Amino acid sequence: MHAASALRRTRQPALRPLPVERYVFAEWRIRRAGLDYHVEIERHYYSVPYRFAREQVEARITANTIEILHKGERIAAHRRSSGNGKHTTIPDHMPSSHRRFADWTIERIHREASALGPDVALLCERILADRPHPEQGFRACLGIIRLVKSFGRERVNAACARALEIGARTYGSVRSILDNHLDRTAASAGAASHEPIHHTNIRGPRYYH
């Protein structure tokens, strides 16, 4: 007993106090912020300051929080949300000149989408108009445009026409239509007639001609 007590006394100075906070299990993942300055984690999109768009970042994921770091520095923290395909956006992460940033990118998307066909252009226009902030639709629009590499211009335009017909305004819907060859289904007689979109952050087609 005396030996055990003596051993404890000699070890006591080297012992560290217990941590104040409980251990929290966390996962780390490498991600790249999109053009819309959001990072996708388990089918939910979390904002980072817009200057980190396209930058590679690290995500620390716990049961309740999402922390995003860039080169070891924490640049964003969010309460974790379910994988519902929606966006969690902190207003301070948006560019100070929101309109100028949006106009440049919307113009680029409109130009590239129009080159593929009227239905691609219209679907992208509607995706942007559906969002509270058009930047939140950039990822879907660019994803649709890039489908041309795999499926060709004609099929992607037809798939967008089909998506417009059934009211499916997402990248996933267009991809599913192509994967299942539903773009080959004849559109209904009235599907070719679409109303133009009016949105405060989207210029009309005359601007680009």
Q: Are the CB atoms for 70 and 76 separated by under 8 Å?
A: no
* Residues contacting 23, CB < 8 A, separation 6+: none
The distance of Cα 108 from the centroid of its chain, to the nearest Å, equals 18
d(CA 117, CA 101): 25
Return the pLDDT at 99.
43
Q: What is the dihedral of CA 173, 111, 130, 81, to 10 degrees?
A: 70
pLDDT of residue 196: 47
For residue 98, is it left (φ>0), alpha (ψ between -120 and 50) or beta? alpha
Q: Which residues contact 117 (CB under 8 A, 6 or more apart)?
A: 153, 154, 156, 157, 160
> Which strand (E) or helix (H) includes residue 5?
helix 2-11
Non-local CB neighbours of 147 within 8 Å, separated by 6+ positions: 156, 159, 174, 175, 178
Determine the pLDDT at residue 205.
Answer: 40
What is the rounded CA–CA span in Å between residue 165 and residue 173?
12
Would you state the pLDDT for residue 21?
64
Per 3-state DSSP, the chain is made up of helix, strand and coil in percentages (nearest 5) of: 45, 15, 35
Give, for all 209 residues of the chain, the pLDDT tens digit.
Answer: 555 555 555 555 666 666 666 777 899 999 999 888 999 999 899 999 999 999 999 999 999 999 999 999 999 999 999 888 888 988 888 876 554 444 446 778 889 999 999 999 999 999 988 887 777 788 889 899 999 999 999 999 999 999 999 999 999 999 999 999 998 874 443 444 444 444 444 444 433 33
Residue 87 has what pLDDT?
Answer: 87
Domain edges within the chain: 2-93, 98-208
**Helix (H), strand (E) at residue 47:** strand 45-47
d(CA 42, CA 81): 9
